[in-house]
Amino acid sequence: MKYVLLLYSDEAITPDFGTPEMDAEMQEWFNFTQELDGAGKHLGGEALHPAGSATTVRVRDGKTITSDGPFAETKEALGGFYLIDADNLDEATEWALKIPNVSYGTVEIRPIMEFN
Amino acid sequence: MPLRPSPVDHAFRTEWAPLVATLVRETRSLELAEDAVSEAFAEASVRWRTDGPPNKPGAWLLTTARRKAIDRIRRDARFAERIPALAEAAERPQTEPQRFGDDQLALIAGCVHPALNPEAQVALTLRYVCGLTTEQIAHSFLVPTETMKKRLTRAKKKIEAAGVPFAVPESDQLPDRLEAICGVVYAVFTEGYASASGPELIRGSLCDEAIWLSELLCELAPDDAEVHALAGLVLLTDSRRWARTDAQGLPILLEDQDRSKWDGARIERGLVHLARSAELPGVGPYRLMGSIAGLHARSTSVDDTPWARIAGLYGALLTLNDSPVLRLNQAAAMAWSEGAQVGLAMMDELAGLLSDYPYLHSSRAALLAKLGRTDEASAAYDRAIELSSNDAEIRWMRSRRDDLTASG
């Protein structure tokens, strides 16, 4: 079986990068990832930029509706995800608009955080 | 503004947007571009005072801004790969930043990107395209500087993290994107012209910025009918700026305005843009609103105004976008062409939809007064006063109401 683990948290209480609290937490993330790797169970995963970087797109009556910010409808449930490589938000949006259920569902586009 | 702006002030007005636009393309970062151009102007204000302004101020500023950008990048390893191209550009013989070109259209398109919320789009446009400071924008929108600063910071973070492109939109998307850009320019104008709250009725500098932006857009998208119509609309509307308030800042109705105070230069420019728009295909809302403003501009008095045509243009606008506020405007035009009774009946039909809209009540009040229904007029003014948040309008409506009771 394959599983996806979706991580939710209150950004307001998440420590900022560069603080000792976050440094300590990063060590824990690193340890967890290593344990998963060691067990041969790690298939993939990424950290996301905060929700403020999200763009939400939907198509209704043939018209594209773009909004700033994360998906906020509680009635709709997460049904899947694609990890894509695109030059910029416009290209990511073009792909999002081709997703079959965008005409009745919602696609939230979140940039992946890159660590140097 | 001083009578003779300093060379730096003058360069700021003409060069800020082209410089930011060029640097955004070259550094691929709005933040880097902003800092580099700001620092270049800071250096200009010192150096030009002692050495005198250079022969080609734009070129001097561009080279200086590129060097500033390189300095800044050197301090930030994330951007290291962007140095070689910039360094090469900085060493080239000095050239002026490209004016009215793709870089500037790309800058505006990035600021008005659909992934940014409307408030952020307006703030970014005023900051990066017009070069207003955060304090000036905050002051114009009557919000604390700290609030505006946060709004801009949040927007810049989103741009950087989400990869919002600063690029000329693809041709299939250009009409939609231009429509959104026109929307932001018009929002800036209406905020300045009919400020809904606050001590001053007309915040002129926002109107000036909107006019400047609209004419810049005409250079960038010369074949778009709505872009020219928007420039016509804002110029023609703004031509009445000096006639629509009295010495105390109270509003003067169209029928009472001294039309010799209408600005002839703005009217002329506005009509040129409107004529250009008429030569291009496509009729949109700005063309219709611009035509209404054009009919007013060409009329010598309210009696001489073709109100039936104006009501017809409102009718056409309603087929594009039905809104109760447009219906109210149409009713006001009908009151002139068909009589107060007809206009009033149309307004009464809107009572449910616009019950909290002060202008419905003040418009009704004026027609009721004309029909001699003084008590009802007075009550309508009371309701409008209750709903308005504009100090000047409230004082004006009070005096109208008091005149009614004094004469009645």
The answer on A104 and A57 residing in a single domain is yes
Q: Return the percentage of chain B with pLDDT > 70, whole number.
A: 95
pLDDT at A96: 96
The answer on A59 and A30 residing in a single domain is no
B151 touches chain A (CB under 8 A): no
The CA distance from A68 to the nearest CA of chain B, in Å, is: 5
The answer on A57 and A39 residing in a single domain is no
pLDDT at B200: 54
Which of A77-86, B94-103, B365-374, B383-392 is predicted with the least confidence, judged by mean pLDDT?
B94-103
A16 touches chain B (CB under 8 A): no
The answer on A38 and A72 residing in a single domain is no
- Supply A105's token pair: 């569902």
| pLDDT tens digits, B132-185 | 889 989 988 878 999 999 999 999 999 999 999 999 998 888 999 999 999 999
A50 touches chain B (CB under 8 A): yes
pLDDT at B195: 60
The answer on A40 and A55 residing in a single domain is no
Mean pLDDT value of segment B239-262:
89
- The domain ranges of chain B are 7-91, 101-220, 223-247+256-299, 306-350, 356-408
pLDDT at A116: 63
Would A23 be classed as within a structural domain?
yes
**Residue of B330, B326, B327, B325 whose CA lies nearest to B309:** B330
Which of A61-70, B46-55, B85-94, B228-237 is predicted with the least confidence, judged by mean pLDDT?
B85-94
| pLDDT tens digits, B256-313 | 999 999 999 999 999 999 999 999 998 999 999 999 999 999 999 999 999 999 999 9
Residue of chain A nearest B116, judged by CA positions: A68
pLDDT at B206: 87
Q: Tell me the DSSP string of B35-63.
A: HHHHHHHHHHHHHHHHH---SSHHHHHHH
**Chain B residues in contact with A90 (beta carbon < 8 A):** 165, 167
Residue B2 pLDDT > 50: no
Mean pLDDT value of segment A81-98:
95
Of residues B120, B154, B162, nearest to A89 (C-beta)? B162
| pLDDT tens digits, B320-338 | 999 999 999 999 999 999 9
The CA distance from B131 to the nearest CA of chain A, in Å, is: 24
Mean pLDDT, chain B, rounded, equals 90
A62 touches chain B (CB under 8 A): no
pLDDT at B352: 92
Beta-strand pair A107-109/A55-60: antiparallel
Whole-number Cα distances in Å, A95 to A12, B109, B351 = 31, 20, 46
**Chain A residues in contact with B165 (beta carbon < 8 A):** 87-90
Binary contact (A53, B114; C-beta < 8 A):
no
The CA distance from A98 to the nearest CA of chain B, in Å, is: 16
Mean pLDDT value of segment A42-60:
94
B30-51 and B145-162 helices, crossing angle to 10°: 120
Contact (CB, 8 A) for B68 and B39:
yes
- Supply B128's token pair: 């990066």
Would A115 be classed as within a structural domain?
no
Best to test chain B binding among A17, A55, A108 (most B CBs inside 10 Å): A55
d(Cα A100, Cα A81) in Å, to the nearest integer? 12
The answer on A34 and A10 residing in a single domain is yes
A89 touches chain B (CB under 8 A): yes
Best to test chain A binding among B121, B151, B158, B174 (most A CBs inside 10 Å): B158
Domain count for chain A, please give it. Answer: 2
More confident call, B92 vs B374: B374
**Chain A residues in contact with B120 (beta carbon < 8 A):** 68
- Supply A58's token pair: 């939907």
CB atoms within 10 A of CB B367: 25
Residue B99 pLDDT > 80: no
Which of A34-38, B5-9, B305-309 is predicted with the least confidence, judged by mean pLDDT?
B5-9
Residue B401 pLDDT > 60: yes
Would A10 be classed as within a structural domain?
yes
A52 touches chain B (CB under 8 A): yes
The answer on A55 and A31 residing in a single domain is no
Contact (CB, 8 A) for B384 and B359:
yes
The CA distance from A110 to the nearest CA of chain B, in Å, is: 7
Q: How far is CA A111 from the centre of its chain?
A: 7
The CA distance from B116 to the nearest CA of chain A, in Å, is: 5
The answer on A24 and A57 residing in a single domain is no
**Chain A residues in contact with B166 (beta carbon < 8 A):** none
pLDDT at B93: 76
The answer on A59 and A105 residing in a single domain is yes
B117 touches chain A (CB under 8 A): yes
Residue A10 pLDDT > 80: yes
Residue B1 pLDDT > 80: no
Would A116 be classed as within a structural domain?
no
Binary contact (B162, A49; C-beta < 8 A):
yes
Residue B201 pLDDT > 70: no
d(Cα B266, Cα B177) in Å, to the nearest integer? 27
Residue B197 pLDDT > 50: no
The CA distance from A108 to the nearest CA of chain B, in Å, is: 11
Instruction: Look at residues A28, A44, A60 and tell me which one is the last residue of a structural domain.
Output: A44
Best to test chain B binding among A11, A65, A90, A115 (most B CBs inside 10 Å): A90
A116 touches chain B (CB under 8 A): yes
**Chain A residues in contact with B114 (beta carbon < 8 A):** 66
The answer on A35 and A77 residing in a single domain is no
Would A104 be classed as within a structural domain?
yes
Confidence of residue B203 (pLDDT cuts 50, 70, 90): low
The answer on A73 and A39 residing in a single domain is no
Mean pLDDT value of segment B213-220:
94
**Chain A residues in contact with B150 (beta carbon < 8 A):** none
Q: Tell me the DSSP string of B330-390.
A: HHHHHHHHH-HHHHHHHHHHTTTTTTT-HHHHHHHHHHHHHTT-HHHHHHHHHHHHHH-EE
pLDDT at B406: 77
d(Cα A19, Cα A16) in Å, to the nearest integer? 6
Binary contact (A90, B167; C-beta < 8 A):
yes
Whether ipTM > 0.95 holds is no
- Helix (H) or strand (E) holding B69, with range, is helix B57-74
Of residues B77, B78, B117, nearest to A68 (C-beta)? B117
Q: Report phi then psi at B197, rounded to 5.
A: -145, 170
- Supply A79's token pair: 């049904």
Confidence of residue A42 (pLDDT cuts 50, 70, 90): very high
**Structural domain that includes position A11:** 1-44
